[in-house]
Chain A
Amino acid sequence: MILFEARDVTKRFATQTALDRVSISVPERSIYGLLGPNGAGKTTLIRIINQITAPDSGTIFLNGRPMKPEDVNNIGYLPEERGLYKKMKVGEQALYLAQLKGLSHAEAMRRLKYWFKKLQIIDWWDKKVEELSKGMQQKVQFVTTVLHEPRLLIFDEPFTGFDPINVKQIKDEILFLRERGATIIFSTHNMSSVEELCDNITLINKAQTILEGSVGKIRHDWAGNEYEIVFAGEVTPSANGHFTVLGSTFDNGRSTVRIKALEQSDNNEIIRAMTASGNVLSFNPALPSMNEIFIRVVETKNKEAVKN
């Protein structure tokens, strides 16, 4: 079931187009990645979803019907930049934001204690926000975003400012939230987190969608004719009429060899050549990382644009 959908959303500012007929559709209880270079239009789309700004044309739907202003109560939004009062105490501030979201004092208190303990920030309750590190502030903001248990969560660059341990902690929490039934849209430049977390993505470049679909399918589509073979012992297969060797590494008594199959070659021929070279432990299509795909797609698009 589709929880959120944007259809042909267009938004223009005085001198430029921020979004040009962008459509996304986010299945319920999934994690949706919004990718794209800086200035591509991601934040504009997020603001439209939050109803901070209205699109010039196009419609956004929640649960299959056009979104209404009061639907923002079902959304939790973590902005890219910290949106906290610097001089206010952490606990007080979290309580205030939670009450603005419609929680009662007692309920807000109960949930805040739970989350603050879970994220190990309970000791910061009486500190002023300005005394906190950027990562700590981000954690506080994260809590205030998820506290009212909205059905749709929007995270704009949730991992910036975090050390690897905190990145992992927040990733785990995002997966946990999906388990509990939340649907999540997040924008990021951190491509490894996309591979780990996202079910689907949309890649926006210069206001237009240039790539979309499930992460697994995209990576397979972009795999090309490359394969990765792991041998026991130090083995270097020699190229024949069916493939060329792109590179090999030897580590811990295993060789990892990357090859590119030539066009119209037969996979069986390649496998035969491999088994002849040594003891094959695995033979897999080499999936490109989202990082590579991102760079390749965006660069190709930009070159086309230059040619035109």
Chain B
Amino acid sequence: MNKIALIIRREYITRVRKKSFLIMTFLTPFLFALIFIIPALVMTNEDKDSKRIAVIEEGSDLFANVIPDTKDTDFEYLPGVKLNDIKNNFTEKGYYGVLFISPELVSSPDAIQLISRKQPPIGLLDHISGSLEREIEKQKLLAYNIENLDEILRTINTSVRIQTIKMDESGGARETSTGISMALAYIGGFLMYMLVFMFGSMVMRGVIEEKTNRIVEVIVSSVKPVQLMLGKIIGVGLVGLTQFALWIVLTLALVMVVKSSFLPEGAMEQLQQLPQSFAGADQPMAGTSTTTVTPEQLTEFQEIFAGALTQPWGLIIFSFVFFFLTGYLLYASFFAAIGSAVDNETETQQFMLPVTIPIILGLIVAMGTMQNPESSLSFWFSIIPLTSPIVMIARIPFDVPAWEIALSMGLMLITLAGAVWMAAKIYRTGILMYGKKTSWKELWKWLTYKG
């Protein structure tokens, strides 16, 4: 068998057989699934745990019953009750809090207090202020003596949901879903970040192990150092791909199982009529899959699925695979070079920083990219090779011009070739150097060694 294949096989098999690999592989999907399931659980739980809020007004009844109940909060208007009567014993009476509205609220916006034992949730505050604002607007409008005011108000009460239509160059329009693009961008960018850090540092630890155990001394008499380095990088990369594939499959399976037990019958049927769709569509959906799926929400699902179908999947998958592979190889070579230059893991700090910074920067810009994929910051970071794997992956779901992708990929390949060459040079010298603390100057010398 080819020597490099032997090395890849060893790196792969010893890692995949480890207990920690098995535990990580089977436990992580549960964590992922929990991230989708917990919001649903929390929402259903709130239903049972409903609050009562006492609403009092001293000396007027301008706001009698203007705040509608929500599904987990009841508002009880108590006419004639004074604040001091209830202020100190509302908990005993079974109220979550007391909302005290003074008549001046119409003219001064802070003449209102919510007294409670706990920090009230932001949603509750929004609900109260929203209801009151609408009421005050109505009362102010009333002062203008407009005829049929109630009817006018009812007809102008609208809600807006924007449908995004993007024109492509041939003039055809297609519907897109910003939600899907964001989910893809987020997941892609984050997976890339994890891949680089988890498996890059796995490569580094492997190199340090071989160096400190003097295994290299035995092995470099059989194979070239470069072969050993590449074998390790590829072997660990395959471990990473295996783990990711298992994670995706297992997480999807889990979410499917849980979703079918959470979604009501009717909703399930309607969902099944929708076209077969892609994994990414499950995430925005799982978050809203509670017992209170409304027809309106179902239309949203339909839009999301429609959006999912119009994504340029061929391009997205190809780019993901390309940037995953090249990004991993690029950073893994850096990590391998670092591992070879030090005697133990604590010494890696000084070299880690310059490698970590581009990754972190990439992640930050990638997050910003989701807000504004066309910004010049996103553009440049998706072209510059050190950050492009993360940022470009986050940008691609938002339709990136072909030339930009091609430029980014081209630069990436050139940089990758350079990085592997550099890493191999440092590795070859560093792996057999002991007892000396390596400096940047030293690394530069190794790079410029001949032969």
Contacts and interface: CB of A to CB of B under 8 A. Distances in A.
A77 B221 contact: yes
Interface string B227-271: 000000000000000000000000000000000000000000000
A82 B217 contact: no
Interface in A81-111: 81-88, 96-97, 99-102, 105
Contacts of B14: 85, 87-88
A141 B223 CA distance: 17
Interface string A161-194: 0000000000000000000000000000000000
B299 interface: no
Contact of A83 (B7, B215, B451): B215
Contacts of B167: none
Given A53-B432, A85-B209, A100 B219 contact: yes
B218 interface: yes
A248 B217 CA distance: 50
A50 B18 CA distance: 34
Contact of A97 (B18, B218, B220): B218
Interface string B184-223: 0000000000000000000000000110011111111111
Contacts of A100: 3, 6-7, 219, 222-223
Contacts of B217: 47, 50, 52, 77, 79, 83
B23 interface: no
Given A83-B216, A85-B14, A88-B14, A72 B6 contact: no
Nearest to B7: A100
B214 A52 contact: no
A83 B213 contact: yes
Given A72-B221, A72-B222, A52 B215 contact: no
B51 interface: no
Chief secondary structure at chain B's binding surface: helix
A73 B210 CA distance: 21
B160 interface: no
Contacts of A96: 6, 10
Question: Taking each of B6, B209, B221, which has the highest tally of chain A beta carbons within 10 Å of its own beta carbon?
Answer: B221
B214 A97 contact: no
A112 to B, nearest CB: 16
Contacts of A75: 221
B414 interface: no
A30 interface: no
A97 B222 contact: yes
A88 B217 CA distance: 17
Given A52-B432, A100-B3, A100-B6, A86 B213 contact: yes
B353 interface: no
A144 B218 contact: yes
B1 interface: yes
Interface string A141-173: 100110000000000000000000000000000
A207 B122 CA distance: 77
Interface string B262-292: 0000000000000000000000000000000
Contacts of B1: 99, 105
A297 to B, nearest CB: 28
Contacts of B216: 83
B435 to A, nearest CB: 11
Chief secondary structure at chain A's binding surface: loop
Interface string B10-53: 10001000100000000000000000000000000000000000
A84 B6 contact: no
Contacts of B209: 85-86
Question: Taking each of B6, B7, B10, which has the highest tally of chain A beta carbons within 10 Å of its own beta carbon?
Answer: B10
A81 B222 contact: no
Given A85-B14, A100-B3, A79 B432 contact: no
Interface string B311-354: 00000000000000000000000000000000000000000000
Given A52-B432, A53-B432, A99-B1, A84 B215 contact: yes
A53 B10 CA distance: 26
Nearest to B451: A54
A85 B6 contact: no
Given A100-B3, A100-B6, A81 B214 contact: yes
A29 to B, nearest CB: 21
Contacts of A84: 213, 215
Nearest to A100: B222
A54 B432 CA distance: 12
A85 B222 contact: no
A50 B214 contact: no
Nearest to B210: A85
A148 B163 CA distance: 71
Contacts of A72: 221-222
Nearest to A88: B14
Nearest to A104: B1
Nearest to B224: A69
Contacts of A81: 213-214
B222 A52 contact: no
B381 to A, nearest CB: 39
Contacts of A145: 218
A100 B210 CA distance: 15
Contacts of A51: 221
A75 B6 CA distance: 20
A246 to B, nearest CB: 45
Given A52-B432, A88-B14, A97 B219 contact: yes
A85 B219 contact: no
12 contacts: A50-B217, A51-B221, A52-B217, A54-B451, A79-B214, A83-B216, A83-B218, A84-B213, A85-B213, A86-B213, A100-B222, A101-B222
Q: Return the 8 tightest CB-CB contacts between A and B, nearest first.
A: A83-B218, A83-B214, A100-B222, A81-B214, A83-B215, A79-B217, A72-B221, A101-B222
Given A52-B221, A72-B222, A83-B219, 16 more contacts: A47-B217, A47-B432, A50-B217, A51-B221, A72-B221, A77-B218, A81-B213, A81-B214, A83-B213, A83-B217, A85-B209, A85-B215, A88-B14, A97-B222, A100-B6, A141-B218
Interface of A: 47, 50-54, 72-73, 75, 77, 79-88, 96-97, 99-102, 105, 141, 144-145
Interface of B: 1, 3, 6-7, 10, 14, 18, 209-210, 213-223, 432, 451
